[in-house]
Structure 1
Amino acid sequence: MLAWAAAPAHAAALIPQPRQVEPMPGAFLLDGEVALVAAAGSRVAEAGEFLREAIARDHGIGLRGRPGAHGRTIELRLDPAIAGGEAYRLEVSPRTIELRAADPRGLFWAVQTLRQWLPAGRGRLEVPAVRIDDAPRLAYRGHMLDVARHFVPVESIKRQIDLLSYYKINAFRWHLTDDQGWRIEIRKYPRLTEVGAWRTEPDGSRHGGYYTQAQVREVVEYARRRNVAVIPEIEMPGHASAALVAYPELACGRAPETVPNSWGVFKDVMCVGEERVFGFVADVLDEVAGLFPAPYLHIGGDEAPAGRWLEHAPTRQRMRELGLADGHALQGWFVRRVQQYLAGKGKTLMGWDEILEGGADPAAVVEVWRGEAQGLRALEAGHRIVNAGPFYLDAPPDRLTLETLYRTPVVPPAYAAHAAQVLGAEAPLWTEHVTERNLEPMLYPRLLAFAELAWSAPVAPDYDGFVGRVRAHYPRLRAWNVAYGPESRALVRYRIAREDGGWRLQAERGFDDLRLHYRLDGGEPDADSPWFVDGLLLRAPGAVRVAPFRDGRAYHASQRYVLSAHAALGKPLRWSAPPHRQYRQGGEGMLSDGLFGGDNHADGLWAGWQGEDVQLTLDLQRPIPVQAISTRFLRQSGSWILLPKAVRYYVSLDGRDWRRLYSATPAQDPDDARREVRVLRYAPATPVQARWLRIEIDRYGPLPPGHPGAGSEAFFFLDEVVVE
């Protein structure tokens, strides 16, 4: 649990901002003579004990169990006159601190406000007198954490729940399953975690983990004591590759053989035409529902590709029997059936806005991510909604800045006629490119802006006042070792390019006190590794790995660069057609700069083409004996990246007469979800004299039927032309 000993002493630093703050004359002396009074054996007593522990930890003050000679007390009590389940009143006078609410939930929020109101110090505090009346505008104020792409340990989950509670966010959505990992123990299906919780990364390492049911109960109880409901998300019928690897009989036709190690939308899907799938779903939901007392259970329901259903004879038969016209209708039937099952267990189904496509029952809560049009569609169909699309915190902070987020209406004007159906809002963090190292810089301080929007929903946000309050919270966040990120800049952006016969690694830092620690042997840097702040000149080829540190703590996963010296290094290269505008950051020289692309196809080192056959021409500037030629292509089907259909190498001495040395037609399976770097290398038996090299690349063409992007042109990605 978080502890801090330097809280602000005035209303300007309260987040979220209360509805009404009225300063009063005088102050309350908080010391060891003060008694805490709360009704025994109730949630009131539980909130009181939480406050007692927090004051002891934060300020070194042990409160008495009964009033002493001075008669000063902190009193927690239920008061039916306070309107609203989460509403509260906090009154500080020279003799008492009173926390009142009609419901224990409101009483707990009064505790959290009092923690923020207490001044800095330990042992003896003068607490300014005040009256605060407060209540939230929205009932549902949520944060979703995706632990399927990158696993997050239990202790880190608890730490985030502490912070959510501190800022009055009352729902933690646990995205527990996806294509890349199944993270919750299901006792009837042990292979879900034995197999589905682990994947082999492109570098050969293993990533994974899962939560036992005992750990889930521990987290749920930890959150309950902090006024936070934990809502699970079990993805179905799409985004289920990890489950299908573990239990291939649930798939339509061929199941994936390995848990995917890349991102995107995969065509593998639960075969909802098969009755055994519903047996599996019911068994899983039985165990999940028994672990989470929250009234909602999220089933995902997004990006479910219908291609496999339409290819599968038993599913087509089921569609004919039910009179279903297409895949959308089939998904709608599946969602409604699951919804009815959950209703029988006292649960309300939540799903992403794709559940609207097949006509979800209006009782379902729709989480809107694809824009206001989808939200309005859900509202007009009678659904309650949670607005999530504008608050995706995996967007980098230089794109979704603290100010941009704070000025985003949580209930946009388009929803005004249906405002009563807006249950609330949610700030999701998807973790394709987020690990435990950079989780907090992505969340904070932006989650504070979201907390204020969701609680206070200001009509005319006062950003200047808000950012002043945020900056008053930075000392406590640093004291808690919370690795908050910049307000409007990327934490760090790297550029690497040829310079002075070597390579210069340049960094643009989001904090002036950020240090870039590195290692030249490719190993993981730590706080004792050498460091730089702006630029590092690398003279020799090899592998360098760099990571940003602040206060001695790593703030982001490390970035690895592989530097290669070869005969084409720095030589002029021309392409017949430029790459896609998003994937040509280095210009034509990026294919002969000695830099290999990394795990992220958008890292600036991969050049990507779509819809073009391409010819590359390299001038070696003098005839040399060529011992080998190689190119490196990326395959990442979920991101629409496939290998070329054909690649040919030619050489010439004069740039006019060309001799073909090599031709390849790379074999590939567009359904294979694994990420792969394919090296096409030609080494003649004896060296070939050449000055010029030409490489012809034939694109794959349209993505095949059944692929989520079927009919659209595939990309191909190339990072370097290597001549030995």
Structure 2
Amino acid sequence: MKKINKFLGSLAACAAMLGGVSTQAVAADINIIPVPVKTQVQKGEFVLPQKVVISYQTADGKNIAEYMADKLKASTGYDVTVGGKKGNISIQISPSMKMAEEGYRLTVTSKGVVIKAKTGKGAFYGMQSFMQLLPAQVESATKVSGVKWVAQCCDIQDAPRFGYRGFHLDPCRHFITVENVKKQLDIMSMFKVNTMHFHLTEDQGWRIEIKKYPELTSIGGYRLQGDGSTYGGFYTQEEIKDIVDYAAKRYITVIPEIDLPGHMMAAIAAYPSLSCKGEQWTPRMVWGVEDIVMCPGKEDMFRFLEDIVREVVPLFPGKYFHIGGDECPKTSWKNCPTCQKRIEAEGLQADGKHSAEERLQSYVIKRMEKMLAKYGRKIIGWDEILEGGLSPEATVMSWRGTSGGISAALQKHDVIMTPGSGGLYLDHYQGDYKIEPVTIPSAPAYLSRTYNYEPVPDTIKSLGLEKHILGVQCNNWSEYMYTNAKMEYQMYPRSLALAEIAWSPAKKKNFTDFARRVDANSVRLDERHVRYHIPLPEQPYGSCDKVVITKDTVVTFQTSRPMKMVYTLDGTTPTPASAVYTEPIKVSGNMIIKIATVLPSGKMSKVRTIDVEKQNYAPAVNVSDTKAGLQLRRIKGNYLKVNQLDLADAEWQDCGTVTNLNKMKVSQPDDATTLRGANNYGAIAEGFINVPEDGVYYLSSRMEQVWIDNKLVINNEGAVKAGTNSDNAVALAKGLHPVKFVYLCNIVGGWPSWWSNLNLEMRKDNQKKFTAVEGTQYFHK
């Protein structure tokens, strides 16, 4: 053993001298995620025999053996049997073993494999580590030929850092089928995640069958979309039981969330009396925070919630029940006589820290805590439940940064860390938003940012309160996860970073080595048909598929983490064997650059096509007697395509002039849904833009269309206007150029276009930042 370690050490030293891999990387071909606490690499390999026997001694051991056997049979085609006193693979579970509750010891020798654990959980995780020692094709659901089924000999001692290792799914904004929920459970269990937070109710949809209140799903489960179509779905209680049972077999606990007293528009649509005014509305059709909430002044609200709890609790045998408590506007409570009567009756007066309405919310949370305690459940709530005073036994999920978690821990409450600012909101961008699929407007959360998050704040460490940090969770809010493929693209591989944050000792974390292991495990994800994110080639200062030049220059590319890039210049599609990008590409005339990143497996990212065009500066026009601003006209109607404006029966209205493009919008009486007063229309602003100097300009806008010099330069038609990846470039001479802006006031993909900033932004090719065009640059005749 000493000779082997000495050899590995010498090899690592040589690699370091040559600028190669680190000692940790040499340790090596063991690509386990999350990285174990202690790994000793030993000489030799375990060759999986064509007749495999998996032995066990307990009921848990049998279940794990059968789980492993099914996977090995499918991928290898070998004869795998379960049972017997001796096996090539032995699963040994005993409560008397001196190790952590979820810990395990995995020993792999040339003669066999032994997994030891105190509990079934630990043995399951030991099994998953062994499966990660085998070739990645072991995850295939069908037989794979030509693979050498071997595992590196090693001795692994392992246990998790945190007891709560969670991921969150939101089927409310976009429904996730039972099949796809199970798929995520399979993948996350592979990486030792042990909790699924199931967000089942929202303003946009109620997703769980409640037998006493059928209209929660028949009405609250379906919403009208901006294009007039209907969207929805829900889980029957039998389907919920199936999901929970499926998760339990993978040692994952499913925690339900019934979000209250806000985010309840779908329930209120079904049962209007739950709100303060009792008015009839529909489930919310757009994203954001709904201001119609439940009325805690009414005792019927609490009877309704207890009826819900009574049906939901038996479906989820875990000890926790998530009650939300976040983003609850309290305007209606201030103006509600019933709520104010409750405030007075309960003595919920404002103090120096909290308003009376905040204390009313705390009253709701505390009543829910007592209610759930009767059913043997503890509550979890988002960090807003701190406002108004924290319930006695509540666990806080800190999402608005870390301050909520710190505050809760200081009050000796348990905490689950899940801050968006820490890279744990996987609906955030993970690359340049100019070329990534649209998602929530946010700063990118690169894989490195997620991985480097530390769940225990220094303040908590210094006060010795680490025990109150139960663990960490990543959240997958689905507003922009329009398909399962898009959801997976956002989730992976950042969910693997979450797994390592939650399991591995902080001192073992190393992003360079983690990135290497992610690349190795990407083949496992391929076998599971996961459509994960591969970093795209990006351009500094904002990627654009059009590059305009007036003289010889270079085009530069980079990636969000170091990766191989390949490209072609002859119009052909690049392959892994194409020219490798090592330096900026020289360009002197018209050219098509096709470029992609390549994983070690040979799998490639989406190919980006960059159109390089050499242009002369488009000449300015001579216009006399110009006036400030652009001429604006509008036409009423719900238009989803620009050509519908020409076919409209309505008449255009002359609306004067604008210098600020955001003035093309009409103030909306309500930003919730078209069924609550939103005015849909089209608008066109025309005139001239004054270009301050000759140059190549990059243009960006969330308008439907932008025309310059009578040419369409930006086209966002039909796109979700939460962002834009339709930037363009053009060479413009100093002076006036004809310009036209087309704006459609509509709702696409849950995003109301009136939420968008309509300004045209420009950046000269020698500048790093886009800036909004000043209103003083717009003119008309």
Normalising by structure 2, we get a TM-score of 0.66
- 2:368 aligned residue (331, 338, 342): 338
Question: How much has 1:25 moved relative to structure 2?
Answer: 3.7
What is the alpha-carbon distance in structure 2 between the residues aligned to residue 293 and residue 329 of structure 1? 31
> Given that residues 37 and 508 in structure 2 are in contact (C-alpha distance below 8 angstroms), is that contact kept between their aligned partners in structure 1?
no
Matched, 1:285 2:332: no
AA at the equivalent of 2:527: A
Matched, 1:265 2:289: yes
AA at the equivalent of 1:107: A
2:120 corresponding residue in structure 1: 104
1:368 corresponding residue in structure 2: 398
AA at the equivalent of 2:521: H
Identity of aligned pairs, percent? 31
2:258 corresponding residue in structure 1: 234
> Given that residues 202 and 261 in structure 1 are in contact (C-alpha distance below 8 angstroms), is that contact kept between their aligned partners in structure 2?
yes
1:73 corresponding residue in structure 2: 88
1:450 corresponding residue in structure 2: 498
Matched, 1:252 2:285: no
2:379 corresponding residue in structure 1: 349
> Given that residues 89 and 131 in structure 1 are in contact (C-alpha distance below 8 angstroms), is that contact kept between their aligned partners in structure 2?
yes
- 1:534 aligned residue (601, 605, 609): 609
1:22 corresponding residue in structure 2: 40
What is the alpha-carbon distance in structure 2 between the residues aligned to residue 172 and residue 490 of structure 1? 34
2:688 corresponding residue in structure 1: 572
- 1:12 aligned residue (30, 34, 39): 30
- 1:408 aligned residue (442, 453, 456): 453
AA at the equivalent of 2:722: A
What is the alpha-carbon distance in structure 1 between the residues aligned to residue 645 and residue 725 of structure 2? 16
Matched, 1:482 2:533: no
| 1:125-140 pair list within 5 angstroms | 125-140=149-164
Q: Which SS does the other structure have where 1:203 is aligned?
A: coil
> Given that residues 184 and 213 in structure 1 are in contact (C-alpha distance below 8 angstroms), is that contact kept between their aligned partners in structure 2?
yes
AA at the equivalent of 1:99: I
| 1:506-655 pair list within 5 angstroms | 533-534=608-609, 562=642, 571-572=687-688, 585=701, 590=706, 595=715, 598=718, 600-604=720-724, 632=743, 634=745
The CA RMSD over aligned residues, in Å, is 4.2
Matched, 1:472 2:472: no
The Cα offsets for residues 13-50 of structure 1, whole Å up to 9 and x where unpaired, read as 1100001111234433322333211125x122111111
Question: How much has 1:194 moved relative to structure 2?
Answer: 0.3
> Given that residues 55 and 87 in structure 2 are in contact (C-alpha distance below 8 angstroms), is that contact kept between their aligned partners in structure 1?
no
Question: How much has 1:253 moved relative to structure 2?
Answer: 0.3
Question: How much has 1:129 moved relative to structure 2?
Answer: 2.2
1:660 corresponding residue in structure 2: none
> Given that residues 425 and 475 in structure 2 are in contact (C-alpha distance below 8 angstroms), is that contact kept between their aligned partners in structure 1?
yes
What is the alpha-carbon distance in structure 2 between the residues aligned to residue 605 and residue 343 of structure 1? 49
> Given that residues 386 and 422 in structure 1 are in contact (C-alpha distance below 8 angstroms), is that contact kept between their aligned partners in structure 2?
yes
Matched, 1:382 2:457: no
AA at the equivalent of 1:419: E
2:71 corresponding residue in structure 1: 54
What is the alpha-carbon distance in structure 1 between the residues aligned to residue 323 and residue 335 of structure 2? 24
> Given that residues 255 and 268 in structure 1 are in contact (C-alpha distance below 8 angstroms), is that contact kept between their aligned partners in structure 2?
no
**Structure 1 unmatched runs, 5+:** 1-7, 500-507, 517-530, 538-559, 576-582, 608-618, 623-628, 640-672, 679-720
Question: How much has 1:362 moved relative to structure 2?
Answer: 3.6
What is the alpha-carbon distance in structure 2 between the residues aligned to residue 128 and residue 145 of structure 1? 35
2:660 corresponding residue in structure 1: none
Normalising by structure 1, we get a TM-score of 0.71
Question: How much has 1:64 moved relative to structure 2?
Answer: 3.1
- Structure 1 residues 205 and 74: alpha-carbon distance in aligned structure 2, compared to 1, 3 A threshold: same
AA at the equivalent of 2:467: A
> Given that residues 209 and 237 in structure 2 are in contact (C-alpha distance below 8 angstroms), is that contact kept between their aligned partners in structure 1?
yes
What is the alpha-carbon distance in structure 2 between the residues aligned to residue 81 and residue 190 of structure 1? 50
AA at the equivalent of 2:533: G
> Given that residues 177 and 240 in structure 1 are in contact (C-alpha distance below 8 angstroms), is that contact kept between their aligned partners in structure 2?
yes
Question: How much has 1:449 moved relative to structure 2?
Answer: 1.1
> Given that residues 722 and 751 in structure 2 are in contact (C-alpha distance below 8 angstroms), is that contact kept between their aligned partners in structure 1?
no
- Structure 1 residues 229 and 515: alpha-carbon distance in aligned structure 2, compared to 1, 3 A threshold: farther
- Structure 1 residues 460 and 209: alpha-carbon distance in aligned structure 2, compared to 1, 3 A threshold: same
- Structure 1 residues 337 and 635: alpha-carbon distance in aligned structure 2, compared to 1, 3 A threshold: farther
What is the alpha-carbon distance in structure 1 between the residues aligned to residue 742 and residue 503 of structure 2? 54
1:395 corresponding residue in structure 2: 428
> Given that residues 28 and 127 in structure 1 are in contact (C-alpha distance below 8 angstroms), is that contact kept between their aligned partners in structure 2?
yes
Question: How much has 1:457 moved relative to structure 2?
Answer: 4.0
AA at the equivalent of 1:74: I
Question: How much has 1:88 moved relative to structure 2?
Answer: 0.5
> Given that residues 685 and 742 in structure 2 are in contact (C-alpha distance below 8 angstroms), is that contact kept between their aligned partners in structure 1?
no
Q: How many residues align?
A: 574
Matched, 1:116 2:140: no
- Structure 1 residues 487 and 596: alpha-carbon distance in aligned structure 2, compared to 1, 3 A threshold: closer
> Given that residues 706 and 742 in structure 2 are in contact (C-alpha distance below 8 angstroms), is that contact kept between their aligned partners in structure 1?
no
What is the alpha-carbon distance in structure 1 between the residues aligned to residue 198 and residue 573 of structure 2? 33
Question: How much has 1:488 moved relative to structure 2?
Answer: 7.4
Question: How much has 1:65 moved relative to structure 2?
Answer: 4.0
Greater share of strand: 1
1:647 corresponding residue in structure 2: none
What is the alpha-carbon distance in structure 2 between the residues aligned to residue 221 and residue 606 of structure 1? 45
Q: Which SS does the other structure have where 2:80 is aligned?
A: coil
AA at the equivalent of 1:33: K
Matched, 1:224 2:231: no
AA at the equivalent of 1:354: E
What is the alpha-carbon distance in structure 1 between the residues aligned to residue 481 and residue 573 of structure 2? 20
- Structure 1 residues 243 and 573: alpha-carbon distance in aligned structure 2, compared to 1, 3 A threshold: farther
2:110 corresponding residue in structure 1: 94
AA at the equivalent of 1:233: E
